[in-house]
Amino acid sequence: MIPQLPPDLLFENLRLELRRGCLTLAVLAQLRQEHYGYTLRKALTERGLAIDESTLYPLLRRLELQGLLVSEWREEDKRNKRFYRLSAQGETTFKLLLAEWQSINTAVNNIL
Amino acid sequence: MDSREWSERYLQEVRKYLPWQRQDDIVAELRANLDAQREEREAELGRPLTEGEMIDWLKELGPPLEMAGRYQPPRHLIGPTIFPLYWHILRLVAIWATVGYAISIVVRIIVESHSPEWIGAQVIEFPSILITIAAWITGVFAVLEFISERYPDKCPDFAAPASRWSPASLPPLDKQVPAGTKPRNLMALSAELVVRFAVLVWLLLIPQHPFLLLGPGAAYVKSGPVVLLPVILWFYWSVVVLNAVEFLWQGYNILADKWRQKNTLQHLATEVFGLLPIAILVAAPAQAYLAANPSATHAMPSGLSIAELNHYMFTGFVVVGVIKIVQFAWDIWKARMGERNSLRAVLLP
């Protein structure tokens, strides 16, 4: 038997699930241009997608481990920063994900 | 306290819960990001962030345990919400189990009388006890994870302590490693711990198996012209205790995540304890370490007497004692210079 969650908790779980996939797509999209953690977070926030540091920075590491991003330490403004961008595999995966996203988006809009 | 010190204190705490192989890299990246964000905020305000603003900002970042937990690889048994708490408790229990076990062995050695083999067996048995404890804790947390996933309304809210977390509770910064000093390496320290453990077991086995120390010469000792006086036994036990204390201390430092820099006080305390075995020898009654063996089958080499042997040994021990004292004085002087340099580094960054 699947236990029933309280409505607010259920909504929160579903919201997080929906957001998780979108965040990955948004991060990959933004990293077609090179960024380090903080400027990436700012760029996402400016475009309406606020994301916590504690979510974004570990996500970058995970995507890099999965081979979708590449990173390098470089000095900027007299400070070493870790810059991320899409890898070749990341670009291919991003295109596929984007096509999938657009198709889901169109379908959901049609249904709505 | 300035705003940079606040973020350093936060990072120091995050580091403790990160996977150790990636600690430096992750902390360096977090530092670069947080510094950029802090500097931008300060540039916007035209002034440094106040203590209250820093506290609010660090609260937004979330408790260090939670921040570090997100960097842990995905786990199926214990999820990221409970994992930091699990890890924290596992480490605490490992430390206290080690301390409790060590105390219980020492008490049993004092109250009951046990052979060195028994002590060796207890030491060798300890890792399996630790593994059993860890398995139980993991099992309890796996059940908690299962319940909290399926029945969140019937389970304690593990995220609740996070919402009550305050940056004011962050511990002060550890002293910086002086420039030019080689940073300590966890692998090397762990290897050193294993060697210490092996040395301890070896020491404990020597009384029953003297060949471990003397090799084939052990057979000669039984029928040789001299026997060891009780002071040598006192010396032996003081060396065992010294090694056991160093082993436990180093184990505690590793488990409690205090291994990054040398603890000067601990080091000096070890040096003081280190003087004890040599002091026992120097203060031996009548400066005698050897006596004639009544069941000797071999005679002393000609031209050598037991009194002479004792005298040479005493002289040797005095020389070693003096070297140890000079070394101790040198270490104290170095520690004082180190303190002065650390203070200078804090005052003149």
Residues 6+ apart with CB under 8 A from B152: A5, A6, A9
**Model pLDDT, residue B346:** 42
Burial string for B7-43 (b: 16+ CB within 10 Å, else e) reads: bbbbbbbbbbbbeeeebeebbebbbbbbbbbbbeeee
Q: What is the DSSP letter of B303?
A: T
Q: Which of B247, B241, B236, B269 is nearest to B196 (CA)?
A: B247
Q: Any idea where the domains of chain B sit in the sequence? A: 3-68, 74-165, 182-204+212-293+301-349
Look at B65 and B8; give whichever has higher pLDDT. B8
Query: Which site among B33, B61, B151 would you substitute to test the A interface, given the most A Cβ atoms closer than 10 Å to its Cβ?
Result: B33
Average pLDDT over residues A45-72: 93
pLDDT tens digits, one per residue of B35-53: 998 888 888 888 888 888 8
* Strands laid side by side in the A69-76 sheet: A35-36, A79-86, A69-76
**Model pLDDT, residue B135:** 93
Query: Which site among A57, A72, A74, A78 would you substitute to test the B interface, given the most B Cβ atoms closer than 10 Å to its Cβ?
Result: A57
**Model pLDDT, residue B191:** 80
Bridge-based pairing state of the strands A79-86 and B226-228: unpaired
Q: How far apart are CA B259 and CA B253, in angstroms?
A: 5
Place of tokens 């229990």: B93
String of DSSP letters for B143-211: HHHHHHHH-GGGS--TTHHHHT--GGGSPPPPPPPPTTPPPP-HHHHHHHHHHHHHHHHHHHHTTT-TH
Instruction: Decide: helix, strand or coil at residue B206.
Output: coil
Q: How far apart are CA A12 and CA B221, in angstroms?
A: 78
For B81, the token pair is: 């919400």
Tell me the nearest-neighbour CA distance from A7 into chain B, angstroms.
11
pLDDT tens digits, one per residue of B206-224: 877 777 787 777 777 777 7
Tell me: pLDDT of A74 over 60: yes
Interchain contact A79–B (C-beta under 8 A): yes
pTM of the model: 0.60
pLDDT tens digits, one per residue of B282-319: 998 888 888 888 777 777 777 778 888 889 999 999 99
CB contacts of A80 in chain B (<8 Å) are 28, 32
Residues 6+ apart with CB under 8 A from B120: B201, B204, B205
Q: How far apart are CA B283 and CA B276, in angstroms?
A: 10
CB contacts of A3 in chain B (<8 Å) are 150-151
Interchain contact B37–A (C-beta under 8 A): yes
Interchain contact A4–B (C-beta under 8 A): no
B14 → chain A, closest CA residue: A54
Place of tokens 């040599």: B278
Average pLDDT over residues B176-183: 56
pLDDT tens digits, one per residue of B54-98: 888 888 888 888 888 888 776 667 777 777 778 878 888 888 888
ipTM above 0.90, yes or no: no
Q: Does domain A32-111 have CATH number 2.60.40.1760?
A: no
Residues 6+ apart with CB under 8 A from B314: B281, B282, B284, B287, B289
Cβ within 8 Å, pair B33-A38? yes
Lowest mean pLDDT among A24-38, A61-75, A88-102, B233-247: B233-247
For B117, the token pair is: 């083999």
Lowest mean pLDDT among B181-185, B199-203, B247-251: B181-185
CB contacts of B62 in chain A (<8 Å) are 52, 54
Bridge partner residues of A76 (DSSP): A79
Q: How far apart are CA A80 and CA B56, in angstroms?
A: 26
**Model pLDDT, residue B116:** 67
pLDDT tens digits, one per residue of A2-56: 667 777 878 888 888 888 889 999 999 999 999 999 999 999 999 999 998 888 9
Tell me: pLDDT of B256 over 80: no
Round the average pLDDT of chain B to a whole number and report it.
80
pLDDT tens digits, one per residue of B131-170: 999 999 999 988 888 887 777 666 666 655 666 778 877 8
Asked if B141 and B78 touch (Cβ cutoff 8 Å), the reply is yes
CB contacts of A55 in chain B (<8 Å) are 70
Q: Which of B2, B80, B111, B17 is nearest to B47 (CA)?
A: B2
**Model pLDDT, residue B155:** 65
Q: How far apart are CA B217 and CA B209, in angstroms?
A: 12
Instruction: Report the number of secondary-structure helices (H) and strands (E) in chain A.
Output: 4, 3
Sequence length of chain A is 112
Tell me: pLDDT of A61 over 80: yes
CA atoms lying within 13 Å on the CB side of residue A12: 6
**Model pLDDT, residue B77:** 74
Q: How far apart are CA A74 and CA B28, in angstroms?
A: 12
Roughly what angle, to the nearest 10 degrees, separates helices B264-282 and B306-347?
170
Tell me: pLDDT of B5 over 80: yes
Cβ within 8 Å, pair A53-B67? yes
DSSP element (H, E) containing B57: helix B51-61
**Model pLDDT, residue B349:** 41
Asked if B10 and B27 touch (Cβ cutoff 8 Å), the reply is no
Q: How far apart are CA B154 and CA B270, in angstroms?
A: 51
Q: B266 pLDDT band (50/70/90 cuts)? A: confident
Instruction: Give the one of B30, B152, B153 whose C-beta lies nearest to A57's C-beta.
Output: B30
Q: Any idea where the domains of chain A sit in the sequence? A: 32-111
Cβ within 8 Å, pair B71-A58? yes
Round the average pLDDT of chain A to a whole number and report it.
91
Roughly what angle, to the nearest 10 degrees, separates helices B83-111 and B230-255?
170
Lowest mean pLDDT among A54-63, A74-83, B49-58, B252-261: B252-261
